Structure 1
């Protein structure tokens, strides 16, 4: 079992509160990812769960046991850090089995568990190599394997892919996803990369300034953000936000333009995803603008449209577009995918 509960946990550094009363339940076998901007408290919260940071107030419950005051060694958790922290003079096999050796496990058990972990991570052919003979992705797999052999209650990952180049990050995302399926273990993962969060998580926890802004599946957060912060943090390119007013079943943009809308009375800001905007002839959509920048990405292209007083919008379109800077365009929003927020940034629809 690997259920973890946080009950009103707080973290203070002197007079500064960095974790502000977090309540969260992580179910057995669930893959939960903490995301948020730098300084939001996501790594601190992970370290509190691991026991590497003292919990100032509140409770941390692991499998029904109050572990708040327990040292890291008693919590049954395994942590994978951003740095591989492998022993350079040891082979892969020795690195992976080191924790079992220091715990006094029988040699046969060490051999068996290292072999199982090596099979799961496709490291069998590298067991006699040393870290200097491995790629960055292979070293990270060894670091994960070192955790697997301990058969932990849960795995904690602290930005494990941030030191890898772009292609290796994609490869390791696949490895971690397959590992979660194979082990069916509880995993808590910290990242600032929302692509990792969207592709790996069962649920995402969005943090800001030490508080949880929203918890939900990647689709829930993308389609139904609870507030303006989540709406703009989740999604790449981020959601377009335009100043507006809403009354009598219609919205009006600050720079001119608008259209009918259901709900959202009293909204002051309208949100629309880049892929929920269609190009139409000027004067026939919700707002008009001028193409400012074209970003070609192959299959897709992003158009940044200057809409005057309404601001700039980013639109995702087909990579075959021939529009160039200076071209006038009309923009039509998908009525089903409009998001409306009040003056406090709370979602109204």
Structure 2
């Protein structure tokens, strides 16, 4: 079992409140990702679950029991940090099995568990090496192996890939996803990288200034953001936000044209993803603009288009788009993909 529940959890440092009443239920075997900008409280919340930070108010339950005041050693959780924290004088084998050795586990059982973890993480050829003889990705696998042998209730990952280069990040992201599939353990993962969040998570928890802005699957957050913050944080490039006004069953863009509106309350912002905008002749579609910058990425090109009072919009095209700075274009929105937000920033 590996269910974790947070009930009105708060964290205070003196008079400063950094976690502001978080309620969250994590199901057994679920891969949850905490994501948000720097300073939003995601690492603090993870450390509170792990017992490395005290919970000022509220209740933490692990498999139904109240674990709020339990020390880290009693919670049955294993944590993987951004720094590998390996013992430099020990071999990989000794690093992976060290926690079992200090717990008095028999040598035969240690050897069996270490070998099993090495097989899962493909560390077999490196078991007699020391950390200085390993690459960054291999060191991180050793750190994960050290957790696997403990058979924890849940794994806690605190930005484990931040120290790796781009290629290794992609490789390790794949390995962590495969690890979750094979172990079927509960995993809580902290990152500021939304690509990691979107590709790894069963559900994503978006944090904003110590509060949960939205919880949902990657698809739910991408297609139906609950507010402007989530709309502009999830997605790369971010969602385009345009000023608009609504009247009855229609909307009008400031300085542009409009279309149909099905919201139940007035909206002042319209959101549209770059891939849901089509290029048409100027004078057609919802608005016109002038191409400002073309970002060529191979299979895709992102066009930054200056639309005057509407601001600059990003549009996603195929890589062979034949447009350049200064070209005048029309922009047609896929009306089934629009998001509308009220004055309070919430989705309507």
Structure 2 length-normalised TM: 0.99
Mapping for residues 108-257 of structure 1, pairs under 5 Å: 108-257=108-257
How far the C-alpha of 1:248 sits from its partner, in A, is 2.7
Instruction: Please give the alpha-carbon distance, in whole angstroms, between the structure 1 residues aligned to 2:264 and 2:247.
Output: 8
In 1, distance between residues paired with 2:8 and 2:248?
Answer: 42
Moved more, 183-192 or 263-272: 263-272
How far apart are residue 252 of structure 1 and its match? Answer: 1.1
- SS, match of residue 164 in structure 1: coil
Structure 1 residue 266: deviation in Å?
Answer: 1.3
Q: Match of 1:215, SS? A: strand
Cα distance in 2 for residues equivalent to 1:73 and 1:91 = 24
Q: Report the counterpart of residue 77 of structure 1 in structure 2.
A: 77
* 2:245 partner SS: strand
Name the residue aligned to 1:340: 340
Match of 2:321 in 1: 321
The aligned counterpart of 2:309 is 309
What number of residue pairs does the alignment pair up? 348
C-alpha distance in structure 2 between counterparts of 1:80 and 1:256, whole Å: 51
In 2, the alpha carbon distance for the partners of 1:309 and 1:128 equals 64
CA deviation vs aligned residue, 1:120-171 (integer Å, no higher than 9, x gap): 0000111001111110000000000000000000000000000100000000
1:271 corresponds in structure 2 to 271
1-structure distance, mates of 2:155, 2:39: 22
Aligned 8 A contact 1:78 1:152 in 2: yes
Q: TM-score if structure 1 supplies the norm length?
A: 0.99
Give deviations 1:24-72, integer Å, cap 9, x for gaps: 0000000000001110000000000000000000000001111100110
Runs of 4+ aligned residues of structure 1 deviating over 4 Å after TM superposition are: none
Per the TM alignment, residue 264 of structure 1 is displaced from its structure 2 partner at its CA by 5.3
CA RMSD of aligned residues (A): 0.7
Q: Secondary structure at the match of 1:45?
A: helix
CA distance in 2, matches of 1:58, 1:347: 29
Give me the whole-angstrom Cα distance separating, in 2, the residues matched to 1:8 and 1:276.
38
Aligned equivalents of 2:234 and 2:140: distance in 1? 27
The offset of 1:284, in angstroms, is 1.2
Partner of 2:45, secondary structure, is helix
